[in-house]
Amino acid sequence: MNKISLLLVTGILLMCCRKNTIQDKREKSRGFIAENAMVVSAKEEASKIGLDIMKLGGNAFDAMVATDLALLVSYPVAGNIGGGGFMVFRMADGTTGALDYREMAPISATKNMYLDQEGKVVSDKSKTGALAIGVPGTIAGLFEIHNKFGTISIEKLIQPAINLANNGVVITLAQAKRLNQHKVSFRNVNQRRILYDKQWRAGDTIKNPLLAKTLERIKTEGRDGFYKGKTADFIVNKVQNLGGIITTEDLENYNVKWRDPIIFNYNDHKIISMPPPSSGGICLAQILKTIEPFNISQYKHNSSKYIQLIVEAERRSYADRAYFLGDPDFVDIPTDSLTSNKYLSQRMKSFNWNKATKSSELSRGSFLGYESDETTHYSIVDHKGNSVSVTTTLNGAYGSKVFVDKGGFFLNNEMDDFSAKPGTPNMFGLIGAEANSIVAKKRMLSSMSPTIIETNAKLKMVLGTPGGSTIITTVLQNIINVLDYKMTMQESVSKPRFHHQWFPDNIKFETSFDTTVFSPLKKLGYKVDTSNFLVIGKTDAILVLPDGRLEGGADPRGDDKAEGF
Ligand code: GLY
């Protein structure tokens, strides 16, 4: 072998070794791997119950119903039948759709219901207690999904949650801390002691036999077991006793809506996400399409340049969100204009690498031709390749804190997601306008962004997160992590995150974030806020690997768990 050939062979060997080392490292950093099917959710019990349904031959939709109800029992901070949610699905054949089972404003809700005589917002009223509650949608949503796509009897799907409620849930340290933290407000709001009002410790078991009975009624009477009869009476009595306005008519009239997902391309990938009344899909489209021409992966991940570009795209998108978005059944939303490349590049004309844009100097865009924090997300893929991405919520932790004692469940405080008064921020600091004002039977604007990604016409990723206004930017960062920075699903989910939402005009960083980026950002005029942001979002996601196996990304910020087979 001559010298040149020797060098060539050595070079090739070194390259192969390096490739293998990278490959090995990548494999080590992967999350839980399964061959056929997977559920990733906020609680091990819920992921297992969903998976068991698929082991019995059920599909992703069957698993969704069982997982959701298991979260209701095992994760009362956000799992719910007293709240609502959104689901985006993609069938193995590529068909997609979205179900909106968001809460609705009660019939007697009015635009100024949270204002005092001087026209000032009495902010607590929309956040805590009986007036904060929207008409719940979860049970209607689950039955709609089961009627359309279910293959296993509803009784079989509900039974595991009934068993869990009767046998009890062993709580984790995080859960015990959370419950203890809200003990006083449970008592204040309910004006009596409730099941969850105790001093809890990790390892304690919570049984909820009255919730088991509610689920039994739903099992035998169908959705009427919630929206009519005993359960409905329990809800209405409790809410009205505490000064709320929900009536039996509100419950009887609740309806779900099938919606067309927001679908757009980002580089070679097709992103499928939630349309209004969520702002998620439109904002993700705006932000990703704004950064696309910049080829973001040329910048070091989480470097100041990377943060700067994303923040400026986020700032512009959240400014539009505040003005244009609301329930599409009540307001016209100029989706095509808002997500057009022409409009988005126009919006970035004021962007300058040398200086932060001031939110106070940036408003919604214009074009010709007008056309919470506690939520939970789970992702499911079944053995056929059907996928569902579900984000469901009570809004704040334990919602309004109103507990339907006789039914064993909490009710949401979703009314706070409306704009109580244009320009006044809600609990997430989000500002809204007329498009999101309160009207009877209207759905409040959301940030929940259940999302599915397709590459070369094949399923690539299923993801979503809780986190109120930070939901969109958390989903965004996970999309970029995997698609642009080639991270494994688990690496992506675990990476420190940041967030900007136009107002307040500052960048929030998780406390684990590398602080060396703060000084260059501050020099450019960005405000850095590290307070109270231990955690931004809890992403539960599934990545389809090139060989077809599934990698789960369960967020280490919570007790989240991937289960699969
Ligand atoms: N309640 C949080 C959201 O819907 O965005």
For residue range 543-555, what is the model confidence (pLDDT) as tens digits? 999 999 999 999 9
- pLDDT of 22 > 60? The answer is no
How many angstroms does the Cα of residue 441 sit away from the middle of ligand 1? 17
Mean pLDDT, residues 188-215 = 98
Q: What is the band of 225 on the pLDDT scale with cuts at 50, 70, 90?
A: very high
CB 364 within 8 A of CB 322: yes
At 18 the pLDDT is: 55
CB 526 within 8 A of CB 517: no
Residue with CA at minimum distance from ligand 1 atom 2: 372
At 371 the pLDDT is: 37
How many angstroms does the Cα of residue 24 sit away from the middle of ligand 1? 39
CB 82 within 8 A of CB 445: no
Give the DSSP H/E element, type plus range, for residue 281.
helix 280-291
CB 390 within 8 A of CB 68: yes
Strand partners, 499: 508
At 11 the pLDDT is: 55
Specify the ligand 1 atom closest to the Cα of 372: 2
Residue with CA at minimum distance from ligand 1 atom 1: 395
Distance CA 385, CA 381 (A): 6
Specify the ligand 1 atom closest to the Cα of 447: 5
Residue with CA at minimum distance from ligand 1 atom 4: 446
Mean pLDDT, residues 350-354 = 97
Catalytic residues: 375
Residue from 133, 279, 373, 375 whose mutation best tests the ligand 1 pocket (most atoms within 8 A of CB): 375
Residue from 77, 325, 417 whose mutation best tests the ligand 1 pocket (most atoms within 8 A of CB): 417
- CA angle in degrees (0–180, nearest 5) for 194-102-447: 100
How many angstroms does the Cα of residue 1 sit away from the middle of ligand 1? 67
pLDDT 10s digits, 237-266? 999 999 999 999 999 999 999 999 999 999
Specify the ligand 1 atom closest to the Cα of 469: 5
Specify the ligand 1 atom closest to the Cα of 102: 4
- pLDDT of 313 > 50? The answer is yes
Q: What is the band of 321 on the pLDDT scale with cuts at 50, 70, 90?
A: very high
How many angstroms does the Cα of residue 354 sit away from the middle of ligand 1? 34
Residue with CA at minimum distance from ligand 1 atom 3: 446
Distance CA 88, CA 107 (A): 28
pLDDT 10s digits, 371-398? 356 799 999 999 999 999 999 999 999 9
pLDDT 10s digits, 154-200? 999 999 999 999 999 999 999 999 999 999 999 999 999 999 999 99
Ligand 1 site, CB within 6 A = 372, 375, 393, 395, 417, 446-448, 468, 471
Distance CA 398, CA 34 (A): 33
How many angstroms does the Cα of residue 332 sit away from the middle of ligand 1? 21
- pLDDT of 205 > 70? The answer is yes
Distance CA 157, CA 172 (A): 25
Specify the ligand 1 atom closest to the Cα of 396: 1
At 10 the pLDDT is: 57
How many angstroms does the Cα of residue 484 sit away from the middle of ligand 1? 27
pLDDT 10s digits, 469-496? 999 999 999 999 999 999 999 999 999 9
Distance CA 145, CA 220 (A): 17
Cα–chain center distance at 451: 9
- pLDDT of 421 > 90? The answer is no
- CA angle in degrees (0–180, nearest 5) for 86-390-512: 115
Q: What is the band of 369 on the pLDDT scale with cuts at 50, 70, 90?
A: very low
